[in-house]
Amino acid sequence: MQRVAVYPGSFDPITNGHVDIVERGLKLFDKIIVAILHNSSKEFLFPVEERIEMIETSFKNIPNIEVDTFDGLLVDYAKKKNAQTILRGMRAVSDFEYEFQLALMNRRLAREIQTVFLMTGLRWIFTSSSIIKEAARYGGNIEGMVPPVVNKRLKEKFGKN
Ligand code: PNS
């Protein structure tokens, strides 16, 4: 049986913290599906097509990764893709409450799907898509925190090219 994990998120945009989780996740799973939440009430900086493209570019040389989008319940999507696991990264204690809630709700909705957490790499403990966007918006240097394609897109977006 192929061990397939869904790695869901907004990825607005993908960061090196996300890349690290996927690379380490591939030591546990045969395949990881990076699943971008599509229609949501959230406001996104990047349209979904651009988020897909940035993720695909970031994982260009890494096999066994699929990039996809999903709507509706995550567990329904995981079942549709024959994935047994939901993969999530965990940073500081501040992530715990939300992740705990999400994992327990998903478990209640689909007991056959397990959530697996990987602790973030120490280098990425303070990074998030939101804080990176904020720094980039005001001209802060975010090199090394995001894949090069994302750095470029953020500069274009905020007119600092
Ligand atoms: O990166 P994020 O924004 O923290 O990711 C959140 C995400 C996409 C994992 C979560 O919002 C999600 O799974 N949304 C889909 C709806 C769903 O299944 N929610 C959980 C059970 S109610």
The answer on pLDDT for 160 being more than 70 is: no
pLDDT tens by residue, 127-159: 999 999 999 999 999 999 999 999 999 999 998
**Which long-range contacts link 139-144 to residues 24+ away (Cβ below 8 Å)?**
144/16
- Which atom of ligand 1 lies nearest, measured to the CA of 11? 1
38 is catalytic: no
The answer on pLDDT for 161 being more than 60 is: no
Q: Distance (Å, rounded) from C-alpha 18 to C-alpha 136? A: 18
91 is catalytic: yes
Report the separation in Å between the CA atom of 9 and the middle of ligand 1, taken as the mean of its atom positions.
6
Report the separation in Å between the CA atom of 74 and the middle of ligand 1, taken as the mean of its atom positions.
7
Inter-residue contact 118 to 91 (CB < 8 Å): no
User: Which CATH number describes the domain made up of 4-126?
Assistant: 3.40.50.620
pLDDT tens by residue, 19-35: 999 999 999 999 999 99
What pTM did the predictor assign? 0.96
Q: Domain ranges in the chain? A: 4-126
- CB of 10 closer than 6 A to ligand 1? yes
Burial of 24 (0-12, 13-18, 19+ CB in 10 A): middle
Report the separation in Å between the CA atom of 16 and the middle of ligand 1, taken as the mean of its atom positions.
20
**Average pLDDT of every residue of the chain:** 95
What percentage of the chain reaches a pLDDT higher than 70? 99
